[in-house]
């Protein structure tokens, strides 16, 4: 029966080409617009560390004074940690792995002639950074905790930067002049830039930044290297903005906790630490203000998806809704026009349910055709988004789940749209129609 219904549906669609074309176009445009924005939202909220994100957490403390007021849209100081807090958490070693980090921008003076000095972005981090985020090394390795303590002047480069500076030769063991200091290259990592760059500060370009070098944090602080990111101080005068002071937050901190029970234990440790700092007179706010965010929870808190993208998504969905109403009207017209043919089938013994299924399959066929058109429209839409100079623009690509989702959404939308018309059509009294034929 299924093949028969498809045959019937194809014939009927061919008989009214204009109407069919209108319906396919309406579904196609509606689906195309919606899938474009849904794909953009999908890539922007995707898990940047599949397989690892469940074990990564970021702790946040509240060292602000009681009378501090968070002004308007300014950055929230509690998004980052102060130096004493970060070092205390690092030394306590309560998680499987922990690392403190901050972004930096340094002037590189290449040894090779013919290459002018240029700026690169990178990260100042502690030893556990590489293992915790599962970075793979092409050559060499990261530094150890002892190197952190000893303030060793070492650097790990990304593959791109290594090639730029040393070409095909091995960069391991060479010296690089960064900032105004020389560093020895001890490792080269494969290029890695998770999107969004979840471990970066709130001021970063989360979807397009990439770290090209990694330096020990202690060295960066010692040499007063330039940092990127928000530095929020609440102390009085110049002492309030000291990098190692207790009244300025600028460090990001991530830990690896292998089970929810360990996460709960770590959360309790943060509260205990805050209570201890409060009793020492450093913290003023309640210890329960201390928080532990999971990776996806942190991304949700940061709200990286710009309002414009959300607005465009709702607009696209509203657009789809109007297109669907259009389809309902057109399908109603189409099905009711065939009352005569339907009555003949009813007279020959088809029940109301059979007619309903037949018309439902016709709607689904329109959905399939509309879905194919919608895919083309969505590709066009995504291409136009890739031309925008936005942070996330280059991510606007369709992957296989989104592709299948497009077709599924198109078929679902048109079947849904066809429900009312099919129900109305199968309730037409056959006798009356047969008399007029």
Dist CA 311 CA 289 (whole Å)? 33
Entry field: residues in the chain: 437
Q: Does 424 bind other proteins (CB under 8 A)?
A: yes
Of residues 311 and 404, the one with the C-beta less far from other proteins? 311
Choices 6-14, 150-158, 242-250, 303-311 (CB under 8 A): range interacting with other proteins: 303-311
Could you give the 3-state DSSP secondary structure of residue 237?
Answer: coil
What is the smallest separation between the CB atom of 319 and other proteins, expressed in angstroms?
A: 6
Q: Does 330 bind other proteins (CB under 8 A)?
A: yes
Choices 19-27, 52-60, 154-162, 251-259 (CB under 8 A): range interacting with other proteins: 19-27
End-to-end CA distance of the chain: 26
**Would you give the distance in Å from CA 334 to the centre of its chain?**
43
Q: Does 315 bind other proteins (CB under 8 A)?
A: yes
- Residue pair 407/375 in contact (Cβ under 8 Å)? The answer is yes
Of residues 377 and 407, the one with the C-beta less far from other proteins? 377
Q: Does 321 bind other proteins (CB under 8 A)?
A: yes
Residue found under tokens 């936005």: 390
Which of 70, 92, 93, 107 is close enough to bind other proteins by CB under 8 A? 107
Of residues 136 and 436, the one with the C-beta less far from other proteins? 436
Dist CA 71 CA 354 (whole Å)? 65
Choices 2-10, 91-99, 289-297, 313-321 (CB under 8 A): range interacting with other proteins: 313-321
Long-range contacts of range 271-277, CB-CB < 8 Å, 24 or more positions apart?
273/61, 273/88, 273/89, 273/92, 274/61, 274/62, 277/63, 277/85
Dist CA 259 CA 89 (whole Å)? 19
Which of 11, 14, 224, 353 is close enough to bind other proteins by CB under 8 A? 224
DSSP letter at 110 equals -
Q: Does 202 bind other proteins (CB under 8 A)?
A: no
DSSP string across 349-376:
T--HHHHHHHHHHHHHHHHHHHHHHHHH
What is the smallest separation between the CB atom of 169 and other proteins, expressed in angstroms?
A: 25
Of residues 315 and 404, the one with the C-beta less far from other proteins? 315
Q: Does 388 bind other proteins (CB under 8 A)?
A: yes
Q: Does 117 bind other proteins (CB under 8 A)?
A: yes
Residue found under tokens 């030893």: 127
Of residues 88 and 309, the one with the C-beta less far from other proteins? 309
Residues 6+ apart with CB under 8 A from 81: 59, 60, 61, 89, 100, 249, 251, 252, 253
Q: Does 420 bind other proteins (CB under 8 A)?
A: yes
Could you give the 3-state DSSP secondary structure of residue 154?
Answer: strand
Which of 311, 376, 404, 408 is close enough to bind other proteins by CB under 8 A? 311
Which of 17, 72, 114, 167 is close enough to bind other proteins by CB under 8 A? 72
What is the smallest separation between the CB atom of 260 and other proteins, expressed in angstroms?
A: 34
Residue 73, Cβ density class (10 Å: 0-12 exposed, 13-18 middle, ≥19 buried): exposed
Binding residues for other proteins, rule: CB under 8 A, are 19, 22, 25-26, 29-30, 33, 72-73, 107, 109, 116-119, 180, 224, 241, 307-308, 311-312, 315, 318-319, 321-323, 325-326, 328-330, 332-334, 336-337, 388-390, 420, 424, 435-436
């Amino acid at each position: 029966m299924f093949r028969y219904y498809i045959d019937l549906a194809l014939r009927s669609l061919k008989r009214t080409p204009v109407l069919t074309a209108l319906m396919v176009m309406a579904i196609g445009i509606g689906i195309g617009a919606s899938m474009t924005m849904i794909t953009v939202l999908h890539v922007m909220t995707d898990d940047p560390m599949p397989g690892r994100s469940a074990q990564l957490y970021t702790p946040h403390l509240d060292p602000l004074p009681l009378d501090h007021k968070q002004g308007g849209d300014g950055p929230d100081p509690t998004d980052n940690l102060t130096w004493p807090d970060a070092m205390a958490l690092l030394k306590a070693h309560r998680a499987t792995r922990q690392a403190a980090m901050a972004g930096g921008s340094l002037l590189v003076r290449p040894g090779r002639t013919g290459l002018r000095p240029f700026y690169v972005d990178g990260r100042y981090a502690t030893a556990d950074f590489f293992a915790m985020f599962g970075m793979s090394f092409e050559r060499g390795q990261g530094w150890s905790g002892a190197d952190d303590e000893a303030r060793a002047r070492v650097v790990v480069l990304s593959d791109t930067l290594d090639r730029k500076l040393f070409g095909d030769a091995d960069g391991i063991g060479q010296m690089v002049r960064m900032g105004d200091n020389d560093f020895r290259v001890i490792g080269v990592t494969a290029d890695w830039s998770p999107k969004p760059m979840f471990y970066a500060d709130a001021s970063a370009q989360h979807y397009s930044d990439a770290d090209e070098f990694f330096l020990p944090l202690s060295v960066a602080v010692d040499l007063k290297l330039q940092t990127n990111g928000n530095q929020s101080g609440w102390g009085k005068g110049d002492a309030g903005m000291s990098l190692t002071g207790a009244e300025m937050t600028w460090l990001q901190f991530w830990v690896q906790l292998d089970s929810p029970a360990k996460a709960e234990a770590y959360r309790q440790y943060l509260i205990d630490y805050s209570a201890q700092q409060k009793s020492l007179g450093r913290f003023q706010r309640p210890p329960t203000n201390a928080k532990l965010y999971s990776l996806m929870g942190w991304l949700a808190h940061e709200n990286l998806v710009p309002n414009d993208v959300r607005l465009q998504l709702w607009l696209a969905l509203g657009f789809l809704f109007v297109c669907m109403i259009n389809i309902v009207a057109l399908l109603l017209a189409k099905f009711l026009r065939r009352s005569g043919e339907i009555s003949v089938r009813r007279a020959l013994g088809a029940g109301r349910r059979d007619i309903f299924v037949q018309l439902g399959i016709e709607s689904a066929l329109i959905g399939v055709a509309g879905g194919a058109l919608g895919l083309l429209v969505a590709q066009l839409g995504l291409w136009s988004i890739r031309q925008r100079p936005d942070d996330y623009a280059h991510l606007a690509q369709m992957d296989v789940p989104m592709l299948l989702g497009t077709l599924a959404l198109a078929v679902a939308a048109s079947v849904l749209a066809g429900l009312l018309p099919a129900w109305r059509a199968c309730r037409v009294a056959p006798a009356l129609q047969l008399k007029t034929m």
